[in-house]
């Protein structure tokens, strides 16, 4: 097949879950097909060269203003109140991108167009000359619903509720503009099915690079916990604040020497400020998360907001780590509470599970071994990218 992918950016560096997933699945498709990739960016960047080096044909469009502060930003938020589309759609849409996309389709004989993020589906709305699929990394309206439920500021809550409804309306419509869709979990696929479609969405799970994330022989510090994730993503920020404010004090009472590392790119100032608390280390961007995961006695996932499924859990399992997560944190993964992961949703239950697991080596080893077995059996990228390729072929051949 000749495949065209559209997305907000080239997936490089591989320092977010979305980039890791997009790159590994796109690269997997190059084993069987010719793959082109249109995104906002610059041809003089490392990310552009990275795509070429991995046999993906890159095309660029100058990006829109993505600054999320100042009068101009808040003006855009206000203006969006009068748009039928949510801000995550209007802030990414430009005529330049649309015209570049139409020109590429006209000049090349693509078999299928892969919209790599739901908000970009607006670009495919009126395209009828080739098959199209939408990749749902999350059910975006669910994320906005959880923003709403966890927001305490009444003005912000009001605005978030408006956005949530717009996102839900957009999702109900946009999947009807496509010939297929993929979701990262069965739960997400079932939600997409409710949008009155004439096709069957496919579950394309998240995966992990089993050659890169491997068990380590490094010494483990049983007074160290770790969480990894992009700190410029609001669900991860909420997870950090929730853990520090509601769970960490309970741990300090019983284990005063405990230390927690929050590892991930671009933490905002209010997250960096948590470094002032003894035992909390917000690292910011690091070259390699594996050293932090290897050292930790436990891997924690205190997420309260999210959707899709969690690459971070798969990476920790591949490194043979026992994991304590919220139920939301492990959504979309084929895990079993009490077998390969520990799920706790209340702060005191989460803290108690951390303390008990740190103190019980046999328990830690059991969860770590079961998690490693799970990812090796089901979550390698090669197997998952082949599944995606087969689905794309099915869509191309459909009437």
Domain definitions of the chain by residue range: 2-207+381-397, 221-378
CATH fold for the domain made of 2-207+381-397: Rossmann fold (3.40.50)
Contact 184, 203 (CB under 8 A): yes
Nearest-Å Rg of the Cα atoms of the chain is 21
CB 87 within 8 A of CB 143: no
Instruction: Supply the pLDDT for residue 134.
Output: 98
The Cα 178–Cα 127 span in angstroms is 9
Q: Supply the pLDDT for residue 307.
A: 59
Q: Residue 66: its pLDDT value, please?
A: 80
As given in the structure block, the two tokens for residue 230 are 């992009």
Give SS3 for 136. strand
DSSP code per residue over 173-204? HHGGGSSEEEESSHHHHHHHHTTT-SS--EE-
pLDDT along the chain (399 residues), means of 10: 98 88 96 97 96 98 88 91 96 97 97 98 96 95 90 93 97 97 93 95 94 91 95 92 98 97 94 97 93 97 78 95 95 92 98 97 97 94 95 95
DSSP type of residue 125: T
Distance CA 21, CA 161 (A): 29
The CATH architecture of the domain made up of 221-378 is 3-Layer(aba) Sandwich (3.40)
What confidence score (pLDDT) does residue 233 get? 87
239-280 confidence digits (pLDDT tens): 999 999 999 999 999 999 999 999 999 999 999 999 999 999
Closest CA to 37 of 2, 63, 1, 7: 7
- Site of tokens 């966890």: 150
Residue 129 C-alpha from the chain's centroid: 30
Q: Judge if 2-207+381-397 and 221-378 fold alike in CATH terms.
A: yes
**Helices and strands: H and E segment counts in the chain:** 16, 13
DSSP per-residue letters across 272-326 = HGGGGSTTEEEEES-S-SHHHHHHEEEEEE--SS--S--HHHHHHHHTT--EEE-
pTM of the model: 0.81
131-136/323-325 β-pairing:
unpaired
- Tell me the β-bridge partners of 202: 182
CB-based burial of residue 357 (10 Å sphere; 0-12 exposed, 13-18 middle, 19+ buried)? Answer: buried
> Is the dihedral angle over the CA atoms 377, 378, 384, 390 positive or is it negative?
positive
* Token pair for 190: 């079932």
Q: What are phi and psi of 135, to 5 degrees?
A: -95, 115
């Amino acid at each position: 097949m000749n495949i065209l992918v559209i997305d907000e950016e080239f997936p490089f560096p591989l320092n977010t879950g979305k980039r890791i997933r997009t790159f590994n699945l796109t690269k997997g498709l190059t084993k069987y097909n010719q793959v082109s990739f249109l995104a906002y960016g610059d041809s003089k960047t490392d990310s552009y060269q990275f795509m070429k080096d991995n046999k993906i044909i890159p095309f660029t469009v100058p990006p829109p203003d993505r600054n999320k502060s100042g009068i101009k930003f808040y003006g855009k938020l206000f203006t969006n109140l009068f748009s039928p589309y949510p801000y995550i759609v209007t802030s990414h849409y430009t005529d330049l991108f649309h015209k570049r996309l139409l020109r590429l389709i006209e000049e090349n004989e693509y078999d299928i167009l892969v919209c790599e993020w739901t908000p970009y589906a607006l670009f495919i709305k009126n395209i009828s000359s080739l098959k199209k699929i939408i990749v749902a990394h999350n059910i975006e309206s669910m994320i906005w619903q959880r923003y709403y439920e966890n927001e305490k500021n009444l003005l912000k809550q009001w605005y978030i509720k408006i956005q949530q409804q717009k996102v839900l309306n957009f999702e109900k419509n946009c999947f009807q503009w496509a010939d297929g869709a993929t979701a990262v979990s069965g739960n997400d696929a079932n939600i997409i099915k409710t949008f009155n479609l004439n096709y069957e969405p496919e579950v394309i799970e998240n995966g992990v690079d089993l050659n890169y994330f491997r068990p380590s022989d490094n010494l483990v510090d049983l007074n160290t916990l770790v969480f990894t994730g992009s700190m410029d993503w609001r669900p991860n920020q909420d997870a950090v604040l929730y853990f520090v404010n509601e769970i960490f004090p309970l741990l300090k009472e019983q284990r005063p020497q405990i230390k927690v590392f929050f590892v991930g790119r671009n933490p905002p100032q209010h997250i960096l400020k948590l470094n002032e608390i003894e035992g909390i280390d917000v690292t910011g961007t690091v070259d390699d998360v594996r050293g932090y995961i290897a050292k930790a006695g436990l891997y924690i996932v205190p997420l309260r907001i999210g959707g899709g499924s969690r690459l971070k859990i798969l990476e920790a399992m591949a490194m043979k780590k026992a994991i304590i997560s919220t139920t939301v944190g492990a959504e979309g993964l084929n895990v079993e509470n009490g077998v390969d992961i520990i799920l706790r949703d209340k702060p005191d239950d989460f803290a108690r599970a951390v303390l008990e697991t740190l103190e019980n080596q046999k328990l830690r080893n059991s969860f770590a071994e079961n998690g490693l077995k799970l990812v090796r059996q089901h979550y390698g990228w090669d197997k998952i990218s082949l599944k995606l390729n087969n689905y794309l072929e099915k869509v191309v051949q459909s009437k």
